[in-house]
Structure 1
Amino acid sequence: MTNQPFSPQIPNITWKRAIGLGWDNPYKVRLASNLDDGPWHGSPLGGFGAGCIGRSSRGDFNLWQIDGGEHIFQNFPACQFSVFEETERSKQAYALCTESPTDGTLSAWKWYPASGVSSQQSAVSDNLTEEQTNTGSYYALYPRSWFVYENVFEANLICEQFSPIWAGNYQESSYPIAIFEWTAHNPTDKPITISIMLTWQNMVGWFTNAIKKPQVTVRDDGSPVYEYQPQLGNSTGNFNQWVENEFRRGCVLDRGRPDIYDVKEGEGQWAIATLANPAIEVFYHSRWNPVGDGADVWQSFAADGSLPDRENEKPCADGEQIAAAIAVRFTIRPGKTRKIPFILAWDLPITEFAAGIEYYRRYTDFFGRNGKNAWSMVRTALKHYETWRERIEAWQQPILDREDLPSWFKMALFNELYDLTSGGTLWTAASEDDPIGQFGVLECIDYRWYESLDVRLYGSFPVIMLWPKLDKAVLEAYARAISTSDDTPRIIGYNNASAIRKAVDATPHDLGAPNEHPWEKTNYTSYQDCNLWKDLSCDFVLQVYRYFVFTGKTDVEFLQDCWSSIVQTLAYLKEFDRDGDGIPENSGAPDQTFDDWRLRGVSAYCGGLWLAALEGAIAIGQILRERGLGMTMTGGTPVPQEKIQEEIQEAIDTYKGWLAKARSIYQEKLWNGQYYKLDSESGSDVVMADQLCGQFYARLLGLPDIVPNECVLLALKTVYNSCFLKFQDGKLGAANGLKLDGSPEKPDATHPLEIWTGINFGLAAFLVQMGMKDEAFQLTEAVVRQVYENGLQFRTPEAITAAGTFRASYYLRAMAIWGIYHVLTTGS
Structure 2
Amino acid sequence: MRTLFVISVLMTKNESWRVVDLFAKMDTNLYKFTLFNELYFLVAGGTVWIDSSLPSTNVTSYQDSPTKEESIDVKVTQAEVNSRHNTVLELNSTSGSNGSTDVGLKDIHDSSIQNKGDSNHFPDQLKLLDQQDDSDDVGRFLYLEGVEYIMWCTYDVHFYASFALLELFPKIELNIQRDFAKAVLSEDGRKVKFLAEGNYGIRKARGAVPHDLGTHDPWNEMNAYNIHDTSKWKDLNPKFVLQVYRDFAATGDMAFGVDVWPAVRAAMEYMEQFDRDDDSLIENDGFPDQTYDAWTVHGVSAYCGCLWLAALQAAAAMAQQLGDKFFAETCKTKFFSAKSAFEEKLWNGSYFNYDSGSSSNSKSIQADQLAGQWYTASSGLAPLFDEFKIKSSLQKIYDFNVMKVKGGRMGAVNGMHPDGKVDETCMQSREIWTGVTYAVAANMILAGMEEEAFTTAEGIFLAGWSEDGYG
TM-score, normalised by the number of residues in structure 1: 0.44
Q: Find the partner of 2:295 among 570, 594, 597.
A: 597
- Cα shift readout 1:667-705 (whole Å, capped 9, x = no counterpart): 111100010011112342210001011111111111121
Q: What corresponds to 1:739 in structure 2?
A: 417
Q: Label 1:445 to 1:493 Cα distance change in 2 as closer, same or farther (>3 A).
A: farther
Q: What corresponds to 1:335 in structure 2?
A: none
1:725 aligns with 2:403: yes
Q: Label 1:674 to 1:481 Cα distance change in 2 as closer, same or farther (>3 A).
A: same
- Cα shift readout 1:59-106 (whole Å, capped 9, x = no counterpart): xxxxxxxxxxxxxxxxxxxxxxxxxxxxxxxxxxxxxxxxxxxxxxxx
Q: Find the partner of 1:468 among 161, 170, 173.
A: 170
Q: Label 1:399 to 1:770 Cα distance change in 2 as closer, same or farther (>3 A).
A: closer
Q: What corresponds to 1:423 in structure 2?
A: 45
Q: Find the partner of 2:229 among 512, 529, 532.
A: 529
1:406 aligns with 2:82: no
| Contact 2:409-2:462 within 8 A present in 1 as well | no
1:511 aligns with 2:213: yes
| Contact 2:23-2:31 within 8 A present in 1 as well | no
- Cα shift readout 1:216-254 (whole Å, capped 9, x = no counterpart): xxxxxxxxxxxxxxxxxxxxxxxxxxxxxxxxxxxxxxx
Q: What corresponds to 1:657 in structure 2?
A: 333
**1:421-460 maps to which residues of 2 (within 5 A)?**
421-431=43-53, 433=83, 435-460=137-162
Q: What corresponds to 2:242 in structure 1?
A: 542
- SS, match of residue 201 in structure 2: strand
Question: Aligned AA for 1:669?
Answer: K
**1:628-777 maps to which residues of 2 (within 5 A)?**
648-683=324-359, 684-746=362-424, 749-777=426-454
**1:614-629 maps to which residues of 2 (within 5 A)?**
614-625=312-323
Question: Aligned AA for 1:511?
Answer: L
| Contact 1:535-1:609 within 8 A present in 2 as well | yes
- Cα shift readout 1:92-132 (whole Å, capped 9, x = no counterpart): xxxxxxxxxxxxxxxxxxxxxxxxxxxxxxxxxxxxxxxxx
Cα distance in 2, alignment partners of residues 715 and 563 from structure 1: 33
Cα distance in 1, alignment partners of residues 402 and 303 from structure 2: 18
Q: What corresponds to 1:479 in structure 2?
A: 181
Q: Which runs of 5+ in 1 are unaligned?
A: 1-29, 36-166, 168-395, 626-647, 793-803, 807-828
Question: Aligned AA for 1:411?
Answer: F
Cα distance in 1, alignment partners of residues 393 and 368 from structure 2: 10
| Contact 1:450-1:512 within 8 A present in 2 as well | yes
CA shift, 1:401, in A, is 11
Question: Aligned AA for 2:374?
Answer: F
Question: Aligned AA for 1:781?
Answer: E
| Contact 1:599-1:682 within 8 A present in 2 as well | no
Cα distance in 2, alignment partners of residues 443 and 783 from structure 1: 17
Cα distance in 1, alignment partners of residues 196 and 23 from structure 2: 47
Cα distance in 2, alignment partners of residues 536 and 455 from structure 1: 10
CA shift, 1:730, in A, is 1.9
Q: Label 1:750 to 1:403 Cα distance change in 2 as closer, same or farther (>3 A).
A: closer
1:584 aligns with 2:261: no
Identify, as 1 or 2, the structure richer in strand. 1
Q: What corresponds to 2:466 in structure 1?
A: 789
Q: Label 1:537 to 1:401 Cα distance change in 2 as closer, same or farther (>3 A).
A: closer
Q: What corresponds to 2:267 in structure 1?
A: 569
Question: Aligned AA for 2:433?
Answer: W
**1:9-158 maps to which residues of 2 (within 5 A)?**
none
Q: Label 1:493 to 1:474 Cα distance change in 2 as closer, same or farther (>3 A).
A: same
Cα distance in 2, alignment partners of residues 400 and 582 from structure 1: 42
| Contact 1:726-1:741 within 8 A present in 2 as well | no
- Cα shift readout 1:502-554 (whole Å, capped 9, x = no counterpart): 001111111111xx221222111111210011011111111111112222x2x
Cα distance in 1, alignment partners of residues 380 and 40 from structure 2: 30
- SS, match of residue 179 in structure 2: helix
Q: Label 1:406 to 1:587 Cα distance change in 2 as closer, same or farther (>3 A).
A: same
Question: Aligned AA for 2:27?
Answer: P
CA shift, 1:399, in A, is 5.9
Q: Label 1:790 to 1:577 Cα distance change in 2 as closer, same or farther (>3 A).
A: farther
Q: Which runs of 5+ in 2 are unaligned?
A: 4-10, 12-16, 55-82, 84-135
- Cα shift readout 1:754-793 (whole Å, capped 9, x = no counterpart): 010110011111111111111111111111121113699x
Cα distance in 1, alignment partners of residues 433 and 46 from structure 2: 21
Q: Label 1:463 to 1:791 Cα distance change in 2 as closer, same or farther (>3 A).
A: farther
- SS, match of residue 147 in structure 2: coil
- SS, match of residue 575 in structure 1: helix
- SS, match of residue 427 in structure 1: strand
Q: What corresponds to 1:386 in structure 2?
A: none
CA shift, 1:500, in A, is 1.3
| Contact 1:591-1:598 within 8 A present in 2 as well | yes
Q: What corresponds to 1:488 in structure 2?
A: 190
| Contact 1:727-1:743 within 8 A present in 2 as well | no
- SS, match of residue 755 in structure 1: coil
Identify, as 1 or 2, the structure richer in helix. 2
- Cα shift readout 1:415-469 (whole Å, capped 9, x = no counterpart): 2111112221111104264711111111222221111111011111111001101
Question: Aligned AA for 2:189?
Answer: D
Deviates further, 609-618 or 403-412:
403-412
Identity, in percent, stands at 37
| Contact 2:178-2:260 within 8 A present in 1 as well | yes
- Cα shift readout 1:182-214 (whole Å, capped 9, x = no counterpart): xxxxxxxxxxxxxxxxxxxxxxxxxxxxxxxxx
| Contact 1:764-1:777 within 8 A present in 2 as well | yes
Question: Aligned AA for 1:621?
Answer: A
| Contact 1:724-1:735 within 8 A present in 2 as well | yes
CA shift, 1:662, in A, is 0.3
CA shift, 1:487, in A, is 1.3
CA shift, 1:729, in A, is 2.3
- Cα shift readout 1:784-820 (whole Å, capped 9, x = no counterpart): 121113699xxxxxxxxxxx7x9xxxxxxxxxxxxxx
- SS, match of residue 40 in structure 2: helix
Cα distance in 1, alignment partners of residues 52 and 266 from structure 2: 28
Question: Aligned AA for 2:464?
Answer: V
Which one scores higher on RCO, CA 8 angstroms, separation ≥ 6? 2
**1:188-337 maps to which residues of 2 (within 5 A)?**
none
Cα distance in 2, alignment partners of residues 677 and 582 from structure 1: 19
- SS, match of residue 490 in structure 1: strand
CA shift, 1:402, in A, is 8.0
Q: Label 1:745 to 1:787 Cα distance change in 2 as closer, same or farther (>3 A).
A: closer
- SS, match of residue 426 in structure 1: strand
Q: Bigger radius of gyration, 1 or 2? A: 1
| Contact 2:409-2:458 within 8 A present in 1 as well | no
Cα distance in 1, alignment partners of residues 443 and 282 from structure 2: 25
Aligned length: 375
Cα distance in 2, alignment partners of residues 759 and 440 from structure 1: 22
1:502 aligns with 2:207: no
Q: Label 1:405 to 1:472 Cα distance change in 2 as closer, same or farther (>3 A).
A: farther
CA shift, 1:400, in A, is 8.3
Question: Aligned AA for 1:451?
Answer: C
